[in-house]
Chains A and B, each alone.
Chain A
Amino acid sequence: MAERHRADVLVSCLHGRWPELIPALQEEIERRGLAGEVDVVEAGCRGLCAMGPVLLVEPDGLFYTNVQPADVPELVEETLVKGRALTRLAYQEPVSHQAICRYEDIPFYSKQVRHVMRKCGMIDPESIEEYIALGGYQALGKVLTSMTPEQVIAEVSKSGMRGRGGAGFHTGRKWESTRKAPGDARYVVANGDEGDPGAFMNRSLMEGDPHSVIEGMIIGAYAIGAHQGYIYVRDEYPLAVKNLGIALERAREYGLLGQDILGSGFDFDLKIVRGAGAFVCGESSALMQSVEGKVGEPRPKHFHATERGLWDCPTALNNVETWANVPLIINNGAEWFASVGTEKSKGTKTFCLVGQIENTGLIEVPMGITLREIIYDIGGGVPGGREFKAIQTGGPSGGCIPAGLLDLPVDYDSLTAAGSMMGSGGMIVMDDHTCMVNIAAYFLDFLKEESCGKCTPCREGIRRMLEILTRITEGQGEMADLQTLEVLAKTVQSASLCGLGKSAPNPVLSTLRYFRDEYVAHIVDHKCPAGVCKALIEYYIIEELCVGCGLCRRKCPQEAITGERKALHVIDPAKCIRCGICHDVCKFDAVGVR
């Protein structure tokens, strides 16, 4: 048996590094006259090599990591002479997070570039302090103290920023026209109406980082010379309204809104206007009517809002995402902003990824990313092993883009060329169980309800198109209908008063362009290839799969299924109402659709 000592120092995880550590320990122990009492042992690996060299002092069980030769005198003094733990080097139970991947490595985030959304989900939206601590309102300070309004506009112009609401007008140019327009009062307005079903980018931004929108608006107001601004939010977004309200209040308390902001002599204040949730009020001129307290209806565009907008005064109206980009441009410079994106579409864009997609959520990607990257790399593809069929971008009045165009870069011009649009950023993914005629009818049904009715092409045109589409889905269509649809669509597109009417035929035109064979199948063969349109499908029992369990027979509400136990069952098409219950309940996939 080895000689007994008062204490042992076990050194491990050296792995050939720090050869001088053990001699240094021995020397120091000898110097302090402890040589007979304390032994130094080189021990085996403790699996903490990353924290090596590791020292274990027995019998006290004191455990030290990352011990360097320079630490030796202090360590011997404290631990071996005075018998105290040296907390500086003591091992702390780590939160074992190494096996968990970093956010940047999660596939959902690895292809994203989060500029506008960088603080969403990271900071407390009710706390202006957190926003300021992380660099908030610095851009405003920079603008008010060291930039003229013209310089601000020049910087925004140089960045190539285009409106995030969908139309893609150059933000700098819009501000410049507003600044130059004659008139005393001017206004800035944020469009937070976001009426597209399945889109929630703006809501998340207003909820998660309201100060970024507010800061952008104050900068914009300074640039165009406005002293009053409005944030138009739909009342269906109660949390956004609440968080914006808190944010405005806190900003006023800090003197970031109101009189003489940051001692610069610039006055500006903001007000929240709650919208009642009409789709048309997302249209700029209807929105301004609504702010004025009038019925939300668009007006002809003989003159622009930049000259005669809110109360006939020059108005810069931008989407909330556009406003939230402004502080980034000021802080980091136009070149930084323009370094991301394509030649004509700069920066990043937020999208809502919904529908038949594995990772439903809110994403921010550089302009020019392909649809394939968005759907497969970020979205994780279509669930259930189904096949991707189409993606609709730009909300209900966007177009459906087929699988053949998956490598299309996502920017304003490419999407428009493909018959769709950027819109505010909704993306609805559809799988092979989606009937494109039915989906076109579905979107037109939404648009029919939401059409304000002020102009005839939109009010009547959408209705007539919907009637034809419904007829086709019921198997009553004729080939001549397709031509009528195209004529109607072109008329609505060219003659409607506002952008919503002009874009409403997109679902029809794009499905006719890319999925014409499905229309033909409905009309000529009286078949719905996706198996959706009830009038055109038939449920039947697949002979070789049916085991005669009788489940479908018992579940059928029409008693349309007959068959003996353990024998083949049969569906009577005359009684069947195509509810699909038999198809859903069959455990053997023995109910087919044709």
Chain B
Amino acid sequence: MPRLKSLQELQKLRTQLQKDLDARIETNTNIIVGMGTCGIAAGAREVMHAILAELEARDIQAHVTTVGCIGMCHREPLVDIQQGDEPRITYGNVTPKMVPRIIQEHLVHGQVVQEWAIGRVAADEYIRKQEG
């Protein structure tokens, strides 16, 4: 990895990374698991394993990434699904048993499991808005 030697290089890198990030968001399905300590304590690791197993079993291509605590510790484990440039849909209090249905309905049929979904957020837009 090249060392950054100036602010211009940093800015160039940022533009490039921004493009990569956008490309990833637009073309793929992202499954984001809250894996802060609170999430792990609530069983997020088991949920993530269940997700990986289900994706493997159904041969579905999706990125599985982990993030830290978003604050809603009482709804952990939290699992977000983001497809294309749609906002992330967040599922709360997810258990491994819930995983097959979420993947079947959300990823295969494109229907959000309404009763388990607790919110939606467009992540990078949200971050920029908070930054003012």
B126 adjacent to A118 (CB under 8 Å)? yes
Q: How far is the CA of A93 from the CA of B6 in the complex (A)?
A: 45
Asked if B57 is at the interface of the complex by the 8 Å CB criterion, the answer is no
Q: What string of 1s and 0s marks CB contacts (under 8 Å) between B1-30 and chain A?
A: 101111101110110011011000000000
Q: How far is the CA of A101 from the CA of B73 in the complex (A)?
A: 19
The one of B4, B14, B66 that contacts A133, using a Cβ cutoff of 8 Å: B14
In the complex, what residue of chain A is closest to B22 when comparing beta carbons? A133
In the complex, what residue of chain B is closest to A125 when comparing beta carbons? B68
Asked if B61 is at the interface of the complex by the 8 Å CB criterion, the answer is no
A332 adjacent to B131 (CB under 8 Å)? yes
Q: A115-B130, A141-B7, A363-B71 are in contact. Are A253 and B1 (CB under 8 A)?
A: yes
Q: How far is the CA of A378 from the CA of B36 in the complex (A)?
A: 21
Which of A23-31, A254-262, A535-543 is the interface stretch?
A254-262
The one of A95, A115, A141, A332 that contacts B83, using a Cβ cutoff of 8 Å: A95
B10 adjacent to A137 (CB under 8 Å)? yes
The one of A97, A134, A237 that contacts B37, using a Cβ cutoff of 8 Å: A237
Write the nearest CB–CB distance from A331 to chain B, whole angstroms: 7
B66 adjacent to A124 (CB under 8 Å)? yes
Q: What string of 1s and 0s marks CB contacts (under 8 Å) between A112-130 and chain B?
A: 1111011111111110011
Q: What string of 1s and 0s marks CB contacts (under 8 Å) between B104-125 and chain A?
A: 0010001110100111110110
The one of B5, B21, B67 that contacts A121, using a Cβ cutoff of 8 Å: B67
B131 adjacent to A328 (CB under 8 Å)? yes
Asked if A483 is at the interface of the complex by the 8 Å CB criterion, the answer is no
Q: Give every chain A residue within 8 A of B110 (Cβ-Cβ).
A: 93-96
Work out how many contacts link A and B, with CB atoms closer than 8 A: 192
Write the nearest CB–CB distance from B59 to chain A, whole angstroms: 20
Write the nearest CB–CB distance from B101 to chain A, whole angstroms: 15
In the complex, what residue of chain B is closest to A255 when comparing beta carbons? B3
Q: How far is the CA of A125 from the CA of B37 in the complex (A)?
A: 13
In the complex, what residue of chain B is closest to A143 when comparing beta carbons? B7
Q: How far is the CA of A93 from the CA of B10 in the complex (A)?
A: 39
Q: A96-B111, A100-B114, A132-B13 are in contact. Are A121 and B131 (CB under 8 A)?
A: no
Within 8 A of B (CB), among A219-247: 237, 239-240, 243
Interface centre among A106, A117, A121, A358 (most CB of B within 10 A): A121
Within 8 A of B (CB), among A325-383: 328, 331-332, 336, 358-364
Within 8 A of A (CB), among B75-119: 78, 83, 86-87, 89-90, 106, 110-112, 114, 117-119
A204 adjacent to B10 (CB under 8 Å)? no
Q: A97-B87, A102-B121 are in contact. Are A207 and B70 (CB under 8 A)?
A: no
Q: Give every chain A residue within 8 A of B50 (Cβ-Cβ).
A: none
Asked if A200 is at the interface of the complex by the 8 Å CB criterion, the answer is yes
B68 adjacent to A121 (CB under 8 Å)? yes
Residues of B within 8 A of A (CB): 1, 3-7, 9-11, 13-14, 17-18, 20-21, 34-38, 40, 65-74, 78, 83, 86-87, 89-90, 106, 110-112, 114, 117-121, 123-124, 126-128, 130-132
Pairs A–B under 8 Å by Cβ, sample size 27: A94-B110, A95-B89, A97-B86, A97-B87, A97-B120, A103-B121, A106-B118, A109-B119, A118-B126, A121-B34, A121-B67, A122-B121, A132-B10, A132-B17, A133-B18, A135-B14, A135-B131, A207-B37, A207-B68, A208-B36, A208-B68, A239-B36, A240-B37, A253-B3, A255-B5, A263-B4, A363-B71
Supplied contacts A207-B68, A237-B37, A362-B73, 10 more A-B pairs, CB within 8 Å: A100-B114, A100-B119, A101-B119, A115-B130, A121-B36, A122-B70, A132-B17, A135-B128, A239-B36, A263-B6
